[in-house]
Amino acid sequence: MPSQKNTKSSRVIVQDYINYRLNAGGQVRYVGSSQNTEDLGPEEKAMRSLGDKVVERFHRADISTLLGRVPVTRDNAYLTFRTAADELFEDGHTSWGRIVILVAFAGHLALYYRARGLENIENDVLDWASVYINTHLAVWIYQHGGWRGLAETTQRRDRDNKQKIFKLVMCGFVGGVLGAALIQGILFCKSW
């Protein structure tokens, strides 16, 4: 089980990710977020990396299209966030993947609303996401090593994937060498 030592708060992780998304979207950052990835902890690095994968996979345009169907007002912004969050976890299943999707959605929502003129909405989105996570997901996160658990799970999967790729490359190389030797042997035998 991942260590609980020095685990970060949900608010710190969400704040960093929202700042990261705002900066990536050309918006000015609103809170002291580090742009230098060397200054980030493994939790923030994991969240940024996985959040980027979520954004790539679900294409920002698709999310923006869905959000574009709802008139942008400060009055309905929370309801939009809360409805999406509740639907994500409505079946009672919690996983790091779903938590990452929630944080990535919060980052996208902050960027989307900010671009449409809702000033300082990112502070509200940060509060909504942090409160939601602390209210509904904190026990699960704690049981899975805190946010450090996300980083350790990500590192373990990356390491496992690299090992699988290495094994595939080695099998391909060995198979190629054996195949070449077999062909060479066949050609040699035919020449006799």
CATH number at residue 137: 1.10.437.10
Least confident range from 45-54, 142-151, 178-187: namely 178-187
Residue-level pLDDT at 111: 86
Amino acid at 117: G
**Token pair for 40:** 């980030």
Residue 172: inside a domain, yes or no? no
Q: What percent of the chain has pLDDT over 90?
A: 38
Residue 99: inside a domain, yes or no? yes
Neighbours of 134 (CB within 10 A): 14
Q: In whole angstroms, what is the distance from residue 63 CA to residue 47 CA?
A: 19
Contact residues for 128 (Cβ-Cβ < 8 A; gap 6+):
78, 81, 82, 106
- Tell me which residue range forms the domain holding 108: 10-157
Residue 163: inside a domain, yes or no? no
Q: What percent of the chain has pLDDT over 70?
A: 64
Residue 68: inside a domain, yes or no? yes
Judge whether 17 and 48 are in contact, CB under 8 Å.
yes
Q: In whole angstroms, what is the distance from residue 102 CA to residue 183 CA?
A: 55
Residue 147: inside a domain, yes or no? yes
Residue 14: inside a domain, yes or no? yes
Query: CA separation (Å) from 21 to 38, 95, 162, 185?
Result: 18, 22, 28, 59
pLDDT in tens, 115-163: 888 888 889 999 999 999 999 999 999 999 999 999 898 887 655 444 4
Residue 191: inside a domain, yes or no? no
Query: CA separation (Å) from 44 to 48, 101, 108, 165?
Result: 6, 14, 16, 26
Residue 79: inside a domain, yes or no? yes
Structural domain count of the chain: 1
